[in-house]
Each structure stands twice: as C-alpha cells, then as structure tokens.
Amino acid sequence: MMGDISTIQKINSTSKELKNFGFADSMQDSFSQARKIYMPEEDKNSSITFSSNGEAMEALSYNFKKYKDMSDSRMKKMSEQITELQEYMKQMLNKQQSRPVVSSQPVHQEVSQAPQQKVVQQQRNTSSESKPYNQRQGSFTPDDVKIENIFYCGNKK
C-alpha cells in the first residue's frame, strides 16, 4: 500500500510538470501520459479477458459463492450476538424482578430498629447514671473533686 501511495504522488507531480512544460494539452492527457510512464504493465493486467462465455460465468459464480459464504458467516455471528443479548436481557430482568421492592424495605426496617433503639437508649441511661462522660470534665464527677478539699477557707494557724 505504501508503494501505491508513492506511485500516485509521483504520477500527480509528473502530470503537473507535463502540463506546465507543454507536453500535454489537458490535465487528462498529462495524467494518462504520466500513468503510462509509472504503470505500463498494469494496463495489460487490469482487464481480465475470458476465452469463452463459460469461463466468465464460472468466475462470476465463484465470486458470488465467495461473497455469499462471507455474508452467511457474518449473519450467523450477528444472530449469535442477538441471542446472547436476549439472554443477557432476560437475566437482568429476572434479577430486577427478584429484588424486593425498595419502598417496602424502609418501613420494615424502621419497625425493626425501634426496639433496638429503645434497648440502646436504656443501656445509655444506666451507664449515664453511674458516671456521665463529659468532654470537658472527662469521667470525673463534682463529688470527686470538691473545692473545699483543695482550698482551705479556715483560720491560718
């Protein structure tokens, strides 16, 4: 393919030069002359001649069979892909239908969470009665640290 592109570029540049220097009257003439220069053998091989009508029919039937086989294989692949997609869609629909309805789940969860919350709150209340935890005070209570024990307010002796 790389040779084809370079050949076409050479033909184009040569045809322009032939036209500029007056060797050809029109662009078509210059293009055909440049093509004869760079591709002399291709003109002979480009046209296929058949010695009889039977050979032409045989070649056409061969090409037809080849294209038919290719299209049949492509259609078979496409039908397989379609069946795979249909099966996948069925699986996805079954998964979606097998899932429980989302709107009914929160109602059940709220009912089931309410007794658990009461138990947790009761546990917190019992623990808070023993020693409440305050971030500033920590686990100390006012009885643990009395001002009277720290500061002496009596007579100096």
Residues with Cβ within 8 Å of residue 1, at least 6 apart in sequence: none
Residues with Cβ within 8 Å of residue 56, at least 6 apart in sequence: 50
Please tell me the pTM assigned to this model.
0.31
Distances (CA, A) of 31 to 5, 12, 14, 43, 83: 15, 7, 8, 14, 53
> Which residue is it, tokens 């009665």?
129
The pLDDT of residue 132 = 59
pLDDT in 10s for each residue of the chain, 157 residues:
556 888 888 899 999 988 888 888 888 988 888 888 888 765 445 555 666 777 878 888 888 888 888 889 889 999 999 999 999 999 999 998 887 765 655 555 555 555 566 666 666 555 555 555 667 767 777 777 777 777 777 776 6
| Cα–Cα dist 19/26, whole Å | 7
Q: How would you class 16 by CB atoms within 10 Å of its CB: exposed for 0-12, middle for 13-18, buried for 19 or more?
A: middle
